[in-house]
Copies of this chain bind each other. A is one copy, B any other.
Amino acid sequence: VENNNIDHIQDLLSHLVAEEIAEILESSPIKVRQVLWQQIDSDKQGEILTHTNDEVKSNLLETMQPHEIVEIAEDLQTDDIADIAQSLPIHDQKTFLASLNEDDRNAVETALTYPEDTAGGLMSTDFISIRADVSLDVVLRYLRTLGAIPESTSELFVADRDGKYIGSLKLTHLLTHDEDTLVADILDQSLPAIRAFTPEKDVAHLFEKNDLISAAVINENHIILGRITIDDVVDIIREEGEHAQMASAGLDEDEDIFAPAARAAKRRTFWLGINLLTAIFASIVIGLFDASIEKIVALAILMPIIASMGGIAGTQTATIVIRAMATGKLGRSNSRSLLIKETTVGLLNGLIWALLTGTAVFFWFSDWSLSLIFAFALMINLIAAALAGALIPLFLQRMKIDPALASGLMLTTVTDSLGFFVFLGLATIVLL
């Protein structure tokens, strides 16, 4: 990108859809990103911002004047305008809201009263609602008068005269029934509307469970506030998947690939610091047995194998448990069965690898006692790893700590320290 001239870039950008440009911006180092951003038509900038992640959005908005931001926000749906407002520093947010037209401002202010990760924070206000006591004929004429139906509309909301949600009328039903049928006769009441404070995770689950394309959002009085569409839900599901992956390395799923190095280093250094504490703990355990290591150097050579195998086995169990918890498949009723199964797996793997590696150690160091101690310590550590891999995430969840974030750290502390302790401790007792 950097080597092309500006005209060529503008030409290229004009052929891409907003989502593609958003991806290019996210994939560009910060300087290139800002040059590109200036080349983009301001008509397109608003829609592009709706597709970038939060960190890149803030980064781009920082380069703009307040009046430019208002200009690009004007044509967006209200949930997207609210997102932009949320990406601004508090001080700019007020100025920004004051500059919006009254309708938008009201809608955005409503959206801002709900946390970003709830149904209220996700919804847009562009829905069509109809009454139950009219015939399909009336509905069809009404739609033609409107002339346009919002994107991703698969159903119309049916409300009473106070705006309370009664049910929905699928477009497909509208099209296949006689024109003189009453809405009340074919409206779908099987799906409840979503409360505004429902967490986004539950919203995604509802959509997946019922194969929804859109759903109504209501307040505590059942008044329809807005609409959530499947494209927002797809984003949530993608983020959920990325969360587990990123969190296990102490990273945020909104991490900008091209964040300035100093900012990225600052965030990661905290995680390294926490990990250092667990590593130091393991070192202290080794330090307890310095006299033994001095006499039998083979202990120092072999001890990383025991720690490493325990870490891997524990991570496998923890990964399965964390995934099962995230997808709501692990609860009180089945956690005992899972614990038994995982411990059995640990025992089986412990036996297999104790046998194989014990034999290998014998051929390496020609020492029967050492190889037996090694095999025994490895088996203990693999069983402990399975137990810890299952119990730690369950414990963290009960403590309301994100298991995806903290499990790996706690697990390594157990498998490293315990592995070193059992191996070096046994060797000290038996061999010295």
Q: Which of B294, B309, B333 contacts A297 (CB 8 A)?
A: B294
- Please report which residues of chain A, range 234-253, place their CB below 8 angstroms from some CB of chain B when the two chains form the complex: 234, 237-238, 240-242, 244-246, 248-251
Q: Please, what's the 1-or-0 string for A277-289, where 1 marks a CB less than 8 Å from any CB in chain B? A: 0111011001100
- Give complex CA distance A359, B38 in Å: 47
Is A330 at the interface (CB under 8 A from chain B)? yes
- Please report which residues of chain A, range 359-406, place their CB below 8 angstroms from some CB of chain B when the two chains form the complex: 360
| Chain B residue with the shortest CB-CB distance to A266 | B348
One of A61-69, A81-89, A171-179, A216-224 contacting the partner: A171-179
Is A143 at the interface (CB under 8 A from chain B)? yes
Q: Which of B149, B275, B333 contacts A172 (CB 8 A)?
A: B149
Is A200 at the interface (CB under 8 A from chain B)? no
Contact of A349 with B265 at beta-carbon distance under 8 Å, contacts A241-B238, A275-B308, A337-B29 already known: yes
In the A-B complex, the 3 residue pairs with the smallest Cβ-Cβ separation, listed nearest first, are A241-B241, A300-B300, A261-B344
* 12 other A-B residue contacts (CB within 8 Å) besides A19-B210, A275-B308, A290-B300: A144-B175, A144-B178, A154-B171, A174-B175, A208-B238, A237-B238, A249-B319, A257-B329, A268-B313, A275-B309, A282-B304, A286-B304
Q: What would 24 A/B residue contacts be, using CB atoms closer than 8 Å?
A: A1-B333, A20-B209, A27-B330, A27-B331, A144-B175, A153-B172, A208-B231, A230-B230, A233-B234, A234-B237, A240-B241, A241-B245, A248-B319, A250-B312, A255-B320, A257-B330, A258-B337, A265-B344, A265-B349, A268-B313, A275-B312, A276-B353, A279-B304, A304-B304
